[in-house]
Copies of this chain bind each other. A is one copy, B any other.
Amino acid sequence: MKLRDVHVAGVGMTDFGRHPDRGLRELGEEAVQAALTDAALPPDTIEAAWCGNAIGGVLGGQLAAIGHVVLRSFGVAGIPITRVENACASGSTAFREAYLSVATGQADVALAVGVEHMTAWPTAQVIDAMAGASDAEVEAPLGLTFPGVFGMVARRHMADHGTTREQLAAVAVKNHRHGSLNERAQFGVPITVEDVLRAPAVATPLGRLDCCPVSDGAAAALLVSAEVAAEGPRVAASALTSGGSNGATLTSFAPTRAAAAQCFDQSGLGPADVDLAEVHDCFTVAEVVHYEDLGFCRTGEGGELAESGATALGGGIPVNTSGGLKAKGHPLGATGIAQVVEIVEQLRGDCGERQVDGAEVGLTHCIGGFLGGDGAACAVHVLTQN
């Protein structure tokens, strides 16, 4: 069955950071309103919606109704609204479901909204909640938190490939610099390699500045058929994959490799065609691993790529021009859609000081959960200029 062309007609997001006075509903409403305004579409044109939210039930007691609660204030009722949860890939899963609904002709206008409110709880409690994205019967009770997972990934990558502490720090320095050019980023201050190396240890070798922060925020995207709007960035490929197979190496995530391969196959493009990418830099070493798994460099050379400056603004393949999870922030359910916001704005040429010249092809990559040495769920999307 041939899929229809799907365009992103509008995007919107809140500032990422601390929102002590606002909850899931208000954050979600702001993002949805911004996307509607951007698309110049009224709320009653939305025919289906998916909401990405990972731990709103665990931390704040809000279940399914969050998507319904957010849309209720727009007078939207009757349409299918579904909360999807794939840990840190919840937002990109919502984007994919909305994309497929338009691509397969089920809707002409579909909404993906992602929202998370995390800073109102103690960080230890947030980390504990996120541990549920691994196997809660086996891995989580062993004390395997996500900083611990990526500490192990870093050690293994250093041992196998000679990756250095400074190379990992280069990722944080780059993303903080990018974030300083994005007014919606949680962290607006550039940092140095020295700052990263001197930061308190979290899960050695990773220190505090190797870790993305705990964040509040929301993001939304409106996907439409060509009948509604044939302009604006087009979704050229979408893939969602899963891990948990045996043979995981810790230094490469099979779901990323599979999702990237599917997206390049669908779009007829390759890694060299990608002008910029937003990838899941929950920890500095994660971005290094993703460079390799996405084909931006060869296996083992991710650390060198980071240090070379090729993935910084002005380099050959700028990564996380938004600041990434590291500096822009990581409100779990919003992250995957915020990545799309950045790519869409870059493809439109609207990014001011952090604009990538000649951006025509952008890629988003989100990975969530951890099972037996591998990521659990990975979503990759490729967007092109119309």
A contact residues vs B (CB 8 Å cutoff): 1, 4, 23-25, 54-55, 57-58, 60-65, 68-69, 71-72, 75-87, 89-90, 93, 96-97, 100-101, 104-106, 128-137, 140, 239-245, 254-255, 258, 368-372, 376-377
Contacts and interface: CB of A to CB of B under 8 A. Distances in A.
A68 B376 contact: yes
A255 B65 CA distance: 14
Given A254-B77, A376-B68, A54 B63 contact: yes
Residue of A65, A82, A377 with highest tally of chain B CB at under 10 A = A65
Nearest to A101: B100
Given A72-B371, A83-B84, A105-B1, A64 B241 contact: no
A85 to B, nearest CB: 5
Given A1-B4, A100-B101, 8 more contacts: A57-B57, A58-B63, A64-B87, A65-B133, A65-B136, A78-B254, A80-B241, A82-B377
Contact of A377 (B23, B81, B85, B96): B81
A55 B55 CA distance: 11
Residue of A71, A87, A242, A258 with highest tally of chain B CB at under 10 A = A242
A80 B23 CA distance: 30
Contact of A78 (B83, B130, B242): B242
Residue of A77, A81, A371, A372 with highest tally of chain B CB at under 10 A = A77
A94 to B, nearest CB: 10
Contact of A140 (B24, B61, B90, B104): B61
Contacts of A101: 100
Given A78-B241, A78-B245, A93-B82, A134 B369 contact: no
A77 B133 contact: no
B255 A78 contact: yes
Contact of A68 (B64, B244, B254): B244
Contacts of A25: 135, 137
A68 B23 contact: no
A100 B104 CA distance: 9
Contact of A86 (B64, B69, B242): B64
Contacts of A132: 57, 61-65
Contacts of A57: 55, 57-58, 85, 129, 132
A57 B333 CA distance: 15
B72 A64 contact: no
Contacts of A85: 57, 63-64, 83-85
Shortest Cβ-Cβ A-B pairs, 7 listed? A1-B105, A104-B104, A62-B136, A77-B245, A63-B132, A80-B240, A64-B87
A100 B128 CA distance: 35
A82 B83 CA distance: 10
A371 B128 contact: no
Contact of A134 (B65, B241, B254): B65
A64 B376 contact: yes
A366 B64 CA distance: 14
A280 to B, nearest CB: 14
25 contacts: A23-B137, A55-B57, A55-B63, A58-B63, A61-B129, A61-B132, A62-B136, A62-B137, A63-B132, A64-B85, A64-B90, A65-B136, A65-B369, A69-B137, A69-B244, A72-B244, A72-B371, A77-B254, A79-B241, A80-B240, A82-B377, A83-B84, A83-B85, A100-B101, A100-B106
